[in-house]
Amino acid sequence: MLIEGRNAVAEALRAGLPLKRITLADGLKPDRAIDEIVRRAGEAGVRVDRVPRRKLDELSDRGNHQGVVAEAAPFRYAELGRVLKTVPEGPALVIVLDHVTDPGNFGAIVRTAEVVGAAAVVVAARRSASVTGSAWKAAAGAFAHVPVAQVPNLVAALDRLKEAGFWVAGASERAEQTIWEAPLDGRIVLVMGSEGEGLARLTAERCDFLVSLPQAGRVGSLNVAQATTAIAYEWMRRRQGAG
């Protein structure tokens, strides 16, 4: 797996992610981020190479590497059962992605999960975005701090989460309740549908209730990453208000 960008690589080093090597573009001007990367790489025994920038352009998925690329071992997903054992009693949020396929959206959602204090993100093993360099960059290193569980069956995973005391809320434009009215308190599983199709039928049927975002403008709904952020912050607001 390739991790691109100064902040993403620095965060990987801070989190102790095993890196095989780091490649820097020739001629990079020293700054705080580059200095930290070189220092932490030395402390961790990670090899640092310098190459012409065009070499990094060839490696990069999106050409936005900022002169820094790191090669890491494949991402290790968490096991849902172990994740549930670490979730404390009381309010908790788990975000379940129903076949979200865009790595940028995936990474942005994991970043939101980390910011609001979610306990975990759950994804399907098939027909879903995986943890690639693009996803890691979009997450700004949040994959190092939020457990991401990959499961073979989302419906079974939702049943397991319900057994652990969670209420399941599915995001849907067809919901009768907005996030301001819905019971987004306590132990909540937030299910977000795919970019094109939304929630799958079986997934929606497993939800205890559906929620939508209030809308005042005329433009279509937010994309899945933006919508996740809005709903997750409503959960966070209520958790802090209850405290």
Spatial separation of the C-alpha atoms in residues 41 and 47, rounded to whole Å = 7
- The answer to whether the beta carbons of residues 206 and 167 sit under 8 Å apart is no
Domains of the chain, by residue range, sit at: 2-72, 80-242
> What pTM value is reported for the model?
0.81
Nearest 10 degrees: CA dihedral of 32, 34, 37, 38?
-110
Residues of the chain below pLDDT 70: 61-63, 218-220, 242-243
Same fold, 2-72 and 80-242: no
What per-residue confidence (pLDDT) applies to 7?
A: 85
Q: What distances in angstroms separate CA 46 from CA 13, 134, 152, one per listed residue? A: 9, 21, 34
CA–CA dist 123, 150 (Å, integer) = 5
The tokens for 183 are 């019971």
Distance CA 217, CA 175 (A): 18
CATH topology of domain 2-72: 60s Ribosomal Protein L30; Chain: A; (3.30.1330)
Can you read off the two tokens belonging to residue 228? 């996740």
User: Among 3.40.1280.10, 3.40.50.2000, 3.40.50.2300, 3.40.50.80, what is the CATH number of 80-242?
Assistant: 3.40.1280.10
- C-alpha closest to that of 84 among 165, 167, 191: 165
